[in-house]
Structure formats: structure tokens, C-alpha cells
A and B are shown apart, each in its own frame.
Chain A
Amino acid sequence: MTASLQSAPGPFFGEFGGRFLPEALMAALDELTDAYEKAKADPSFGGELDRLARDYTGRPSIVTEVPRFAAHAGGARVFLKREDLNHTGSHKINNVLGQALLTKRLGKTRVIAETGAGQHGVATATAAALMDLDCVIYMGEEDTERQALNVARMRLLGAEVVPVKSGSRTLRDAINETFRDWVANVETTNYMFGTAAGPHPFPAMVRDFQRVIGVEAREQMLALGGLPDAVLACVGGGSNAIGSFDAFLDDEGVRLIGCEAAGDGVETGRHAATITGGTKGVLHGSRSYILQDQDGQTVASHSISAGLDYPGVGPQHSWLADIGRAEYWPVTDADAMDAFRLLSRTEGILPAIESSHALAGAIRLGRELGPDATLLVTLSGRGDKDVEQAARWFDMLPGEDA
């Protein structure tokens, strides 16, 4: 009998993970780790988190079978785990409620966070409003332009949004700037990291807060007749994917497939497919696959999806790829947008562009496996925020008629 792969504690996942950050932040990371360990052992913390999940987020999220979509996926049965129906519109709320509760336990009054597409920023601003915390969100200037609606949402929720003008002006620079804020304000401030990456304890802690996705989905699939043949989820930093995978890690018959953003195609160099096209290195506090040049300088990533446009990936994914427990498939912008349109038109569900990468993976896998297969896809977020961008992609904006 082999040991369970579930809920691996970190700080290392095989050779990946760790804590590569300045000494100035070590006391805060130790304090956070300690507070999280105590909270895990405290039934009142779990109880409060469960209550919020039920009464605030709206959990459990449902599972929806999508037969009209599935007809285009080789006739396989396709089920969606509907994280898009959560309060704030994505899986990000699962994580921030946990981290905001921890912030209160730490006695800190201010939270900071990075955001790419704006989903984590919106979720953080929401939790900060709910729990009376000051909130500053760092967002790459380019992302504030392509996700203007989410910037307004965060401001409406009372958060300050700081556009980051340095470097590539995207998620990676937003993370750098959030670390800089943290070093300067660590006494009063907690960094609510948005994905299952970064230094220990974030990869394990964020995974634990997102684990509810897979735990619920696994029970729901069993009630519907059995485990799926595969679980698919999109991977940027990888929090919805690791949250979807964790409960299935010991189910050997279930394939786990992370769909990375391949942008214009991995072969073009303009992509964000970190595991498919990257090499091992250290970025943002942990060892993982990253996109870098020979000198270890981070290379800019490219994706139509701001939420997946990141040149790193959570260390547990790198480990699962290396030991062969999970597969990571590249999905281009074009394939993701085709899947976006298909789900919208066949099922009346507008997916986030991020999640559309997982849908594209399901189309590919369904065609490969045929009608006997059952696929579970995590629909990590809804597409409301992407309407303008998608309409432009499909030339549907008024005055843009061809």
C-alpha cells in the first residue's frame, strides 16, 4: 500500500516548494504558519469556515451535466463543478474567507493581495468588507485595462486598487509589489496570497482552503453513479486545479488534467504554459517550474486570460507532473475561446476565459475517449467579467461589424 498523496503538508513537494524570501518576512511567515496550524486543530475555526461557506458563499456548489456541450466532446458525459455560482463569481472566495479569518486571529487590521484577472482582488475586497479589514489590491496596469469592470467592483467594495506600472505590468509584477508592501508593513498587514504558489505555507494552505471543491465534487459524482474518468481544471498558479485534484489523488483510476494557457501556442514562445514549456527555478518564494531565460531572468508570459497569465505555477503541480500523477496540457487562446462560445451557446452558461481552457481540454479528451467516458470539469469562474473581451474576440461589439 502506498502512502496517501492527499493534503501534502509542505514546505516541500518533492524537490519543489520551500521558502525563498527575504529574512524580513520570515517572522511573519512563521507566525502565519503557526496560526494556521493552530486554526486547523481548532474546531471553532473549521466550524466558522463551514458556516461562511454555507451562508455566505452558497456552498455546496452544484454539479451540472452538460449534454449539448458534450455532444461536441465525442459524446462523453461531461459534468461541470459550478464554482462560477459562488458569491463573487469564482472559486477565489473559498480561499479568502479562510485567510481573512486567519488575519483576524493574527490580530492584524490590514490585508493586501495581488490580482490578475481581478477575481482574487474582488474576493479579497469582499472578505475585507465582511470582516472589517483595510484592503489594498495590487494589479498590473495592463490587467486594470483589460479587466476594468473588476477594478470598479473592488473600489465599490471599499478597497484601494493600485495599478502596478513596473516590469510587464501584469500579475507577476503585482506580486512583486505586494511583497514590497508586505516587507514595509508586516506588523499590521497580512498578505492574502491568491493561489497555491509562493512561499510556505501558502501552497499547502491555499490548497486546503480550495480542497472543498474536490471533496464536494467527489461525493456528488459518486451519488451520480461513480467516479469520473478524468478531472480537468485550468492552471495559472493552480489553486482551483489543486483544490479540484486533491480529494481524487488517491483514486488511481481518475486522470487529473491541468489545462495551461498556451497563448499563441507553446512553440511561438508567447504562452503561459509553465509546466509544458518551462524549466525548474525559484520565483516568488518557491521552487517550481517557471518561464525564464538562460540567466534565470523571468520571461513574460502571454495569455488572453489575465488570470492564467503568470510565468510560474504552484509547486505541488510541478511535483504531480514530475511523479506522473497529473498531466498538464497546453490550450491555446483560440481553443479556449472556441470552448467559451460553445458552452455559452449549447448550455446557456457563460464561463470565465480561464475556465474555458479546462473546457477545451474536456473537448479534446472527450473526442479521444468517446461516449463511454465521464469527465468532471471545474468551472472555476463565470464569464461576466470577460464579456467585453470575448465580444471583441468574436467581433460582436457594436460598430465593429465586419
Chain B
Amino acid sequence: MTALAERLDQIKAEGRAALIGYLPVGYPTVEGSVRAMQTMIEAGVDIVEVGLPYSDPVLDGPTIQHAAERALAGGSRVSDVFTAVKGCVDAGAPAVVMSYWNPILQYGVERFADDLVAAGGSGAILPDITPDADVTWLPTARERDLDTVFLVALTTTAERMALTCTAGSGFVYAAALMGVTGERSSMGGGVQDLVARAREAGAPRVCVGLGVTTGEHAAQVAEYADGVIVGSALVRCLTDHPDDLEAGLEALRAKTTELARGVRGEL
């Protein structure tokens, strides 16, 4: 069992949902992004999703697109993701990489998996491929005891739900809405049912992401999911202060604290 799965089970035993925070490597710089991830961990994020910036992020809205573009323009490389993973693990949080498929493919599937293991990472979230799309990653990950997290959506059919929930490991990522990443004013309907469907189809743990913006949203989702995933709302703390990292980190600390209280039912 990976550190990711262990931490999720441990938190479940505490009677609450986990808070999973996403930030892209390299925004505003590699060093700055690692500091930001460590700040989130100090302020109550349980698990870090380390984002690998990609040139064509079809599932991301404007906030994450912008941060990824800036990270790439600043020279962020695939290998920086392992630096960030190690930084998170050293700070006491399990880390998973969130990456579109082509950067992993070009880095080399086995090489990527080996370097992820060496950095202490628990696995990868693959948003733009499905278990039936590529046959190379899953056996490579399994051999190295890395988790593979796939997404399910409100449109996922029963047949595909069974495929997806049994192929992956760690947790299943339930997309709370049909759309791209980004902040929303309220959580859409139907996601609680989606989580139930994923559990019935064999998912050991189900975490919910997309659109989770406030502590209140986090509290709502925490009532039925094993984890609450937040991305854009955290990234925006940094993009709101493009020239002042310290101010960005302060905003990030405050947002994380709000979300952490949400998953603990302390709001």
C-alpha cells in the first residue's frame, strides 16, 4: 500500500475527509512552487497533487492554464516535478503527480515511474487518458507499487465505471461537474450519486474535485467523499500576487486554513 492510500485510510479512521491540494510545479518558479506546496502542508493540506505544466491542458480553465503557461515560459521541466514531490514528502505529506499523458510518454514511462519512486511519490493522476487508452503505464506502475488515479465523470456509463474503478488504485477522482477546472459559486448536483456509483463499482476510496472553491464547499463534499480536491482556488492565491510571493503564500495559507476547517466540520 502506498503512503497515499495509507494516509487516506488513516484520515477516514479519524472520521473526516482528506484535503488534497493541487499546485503546478514552476509557478512562479520551481523553488517558489515547492515553498507554496510546503505552505499548504503546514496549513492543513493532507496530500499534495503536484501538477506538471503542459502546453495543451484541455481539462483546465483559465487560472491553471495561466499558471502553467507562466511556468513553462519560466523554463519549468518535467524533471522539476520530482524535486517538488520530494519537497512535499520531506514536509510530511504524501504526493501524487497530476500530469497530462504526453509529457510522461516523452520522458519515458519506465523512467518516469522510476524517478517518481526515487522521489518518494505515491503515484500519478492521469486526467486525459482512460484505463483502456494506453497499456504501458498501468503494469509499470503496479510493478513499482505506484498508484494510478483515473477520473470518472457524471457521464460515465456503468460499464466504464466498472472498468475505471477496478483498473486504478489509491483513489478514484470523481469530477464534480462537467467542465474544466476553475472556481465556481456552488457545487453542482449529482456528484454525491456519482461517488456512490464509484463505490458500488469497486472503488476503495473516492475523492471529489473540480469547482471546489470555499470551505463551505469542502464541508459539503466531506460529508460523502473520502477526500476533497482543490486546485484553482489555491492557484489563484498565487496568481493574484504575481510579483509578491510572500503575499501569495500568505493568501495561500489563509485559503488552505479555511478549506482544512471545512473538511473537519469546523466552519
Given contacts A24-B175, A166-B69, A282-B101, contact A294 B128 (CB under 8 A): no
Interface residue? B58 (CB, 8 A): yes
The secondary structure that dominates the B interface is loop
Whether the Cβ atoms of A28 and B54 lie closer than 8 Å is no
Asked if A295 contacts B178 (CB within 8 A), the reply is no
Bound together, the chains give a CA A179 to CA B78 distance in angstroms of 24
> Which residue in A24, A167, A284, A294 is a CB contact (below 8 Å) of B106?
A294
Question: Is B178 a contact of A298 with CB atoms below 8 Å?
Answer: no
> How far in angstroms is the closest Cβ of chain B from A402?
38
Assess whether A22 is in contact with B56, with CB atoms less than 8 Å apart.
no
- For A179, the chain B residues whose CB sits under 8 A away are 58
Indicate which residue in A24, A172, A297 contacts B103 across the interface (CB closer than 8 Å): A297
B55 contacts partner chain A, Cβ-Cβ < 8 Å: yes
A255 within 8 A of B: no
Q: A295 to B105, Cβ gap below 8 A?
A: no
A201 interfacial by beta-carbon distance below 8 Å = no
Is A20 within 8 A of B129, CB to CB? yes
Q: Interface stretch among B28-36, B151-159, B231-239, B246-254?
A: B151-159
Q: Distance in Å from the Cβ of B136 to the closest Cβ of chain A?
A: 11
- Tell whether A20 pairs with B101 under 8 Å between CB atoms, given A27-B155, A183-B178, A186-B178: yes
- Residues facing B in A287-311 (CB within 8 A) are 290, 292, 294-298
Q: Which residues of B contact A26 (CB under 8 A)?
A: 130, 155-157, 160
Mask of A274-289 contacts with B, CB within 8 angstroms, 1/0:
0000000111100000
Asked if B179 lies at the interface with its beta carbon under 8 angstroms from chain A, I say yes
Q: Contact at B72–A23, with CB atoms within 8 Å?
A: no
Q: Could you tell me the distance between the alpha carbons of A154 and B104 in the complex, rounded to whole angstroms?
A: 39
- Which residues of chain A from 244 to 300 have a CB within 8 Å of any chain B CB? 281-284, 290, 292, 294-298
Residues of chain A contacted by B129 (CB below 8 angstroms): 20-21
Which chain B residues border A281 with CB–CB below 8 Å? 102, 105-106
Is B102 touching A27 in the complex (CB atoms < 8 A)?
A: no
A22 in contact with B107 given A166-B65, A282-B102 (CB within 8 Å) = no
Once the chains are docked, how many angstroms separate the CA of A282 from the CA of B129?
10
Closest CB in chain A relative to B159 CB, distance in Å: 9
Check A295 against B155 for contact (C-beta < 8 Å). no
Are B102 and A292 in touch, CB under 8 angstroms?
A: yes
Instruction: Mark each residue of chain A from 137 to 175: 1 if its CB lies under 8 Å from any CB of chain B, else 0.
Output: 000000000000000000000000000001100001000
A176 within 8 A of B: yes
- C-alpha spacing A185/B180, complex, angstroms: 11
A51 within 8 A of B: no
| Contact, CB under 8 Å: B156 / A172 | no
Measured between beta carbons, the chain B residues less than 8 angstroms from A28 are: 155
- Interface residue count for A (Cβ, 8 Å)? 34
Contacts of B61 in A (CB 8 A): 180
B70 within 8 A of A: no
User: Does any Cβ of B come within 8 Å of A19's Cβ?
Assistant: yes
A27 touching B156 in the complex, CB below 8 Å, given contacts A22-B151, A166-B69, A296-B78: yes
The distance from the CB of B150 to the nearest CB of chain A, in whole angstroms, is 7
The answer to whether the Cβ of B214 comes within 8 Å of any Cβ in the partner chain is no
Number of interface residues of B (CB under 8 A): 40
Task: Check A18 for interface membership: any CB of B closer than 8 A.
Answer: yes
Q: Is the beta-carbon distance between B58 and A176 smaller than 8 angstroms?
A: yes
**CB atoms of B56 and A176 under 8 A apart:** yes
User: A184 interface residue, CB < 8 Å from B?
Assistant: yes
Is the Cβ of A23 less than 8 Å from the Cβ of B106?
no
Instruction: Indicate whether A23 sits within 8 Å of B58 (C-beta atoms), given known contacts A184-B180, A295-B78.
Output: no
Contacts of B65 on A, CB cut-off 8 Å? 166
**In the bound complex, CA of A25 to CA of B130 (Å):** 10
Q: Is the CB of B106 within 8 A of A295?
A: yes
* Residue B134, interface by CB 8 Å: yes
> Are B160 and A23 in touch, CB under 8 angstroms?
yes
* Residues of chain B in range 33-80 having any CB-CB distance to chain A below 8 Å: 54-59, 61-62, 65, 69, 72, 77-78
A166 to B63, CA, bound (A): 11
* Distance A185 CA – B129 CA, assembled complex (angstroms): 20
In angstroms, Cα B179 to Cα A187, docked, is 12
Interface string of A333-344 (1 = CB under 8 A from B): 000000000000
Contact of B1 with A by CB under 8 A: no
Bits for A55-79, please: 1 = Cβ < 8 Å to B, else 0.
0000000000000000000000000
State which residues 157-200 of B face A: CB under 8 Å: 157, 160, 164, 175, 178-180
The interface bits of chain A over 31-69 (1 if a CB of B lies within 8 angstroms of the residue's CB, else 0) are 000000000000000000000000000000000000000
Name B134's closest neighbour in chain A (CB-CB).
Answer: A20
Query: Which of chain B's residues has its CB closest to A312's CB?
Result: B56
Most chain A beta-carbon neighbours within 10 Å: one of B104, B130, B133, B157: B133
Decide: A176 near B103, CB < 8 A? Known: A167-B69, A183-B179, A296-B78: no
Query: What residue in chain A is nearest B79 (Cβ atoms)?
Result: A295
Distance between Cα atoms of A44 and B177 in the complex (Å) = 38
Which of the residues B55, B103, B134, B160 comes within 8 Å of A167, measured between beta carbons?
B55
| A20:B178 contact, CB within 8 angstroms | no
Which chain B positions have C-beta within 8 A of A24?
59, 151, 153-156, 175, 178
Which residues of chain B have a CB within 8 Å of any CB of chain A? Answer: 54-59, 61-62, 65, 69, 72, 77-78, 101-107, 127-130, 133-134, 150-157, 160, 164, 175, 178-180
List 15 interface pairs A-B (beta carbons < 8 Å), by A numbering: A20-B101, A20-B128, A22-B153, A23-B130, A23-B153, A27-B155, A30-B157, A167-B56, A180-B59, A187-B178, A292-B106, A295-B77, A296-B102, A296-B106, A298-B55
Q: Using CB atoms and an 8 Å cutoff, list the residues of chain A in contact with chain B.
A: 18-28, 30, 166-167, 172, 176, 179-180, 183-187, 281-284, 290, 292, 294-298
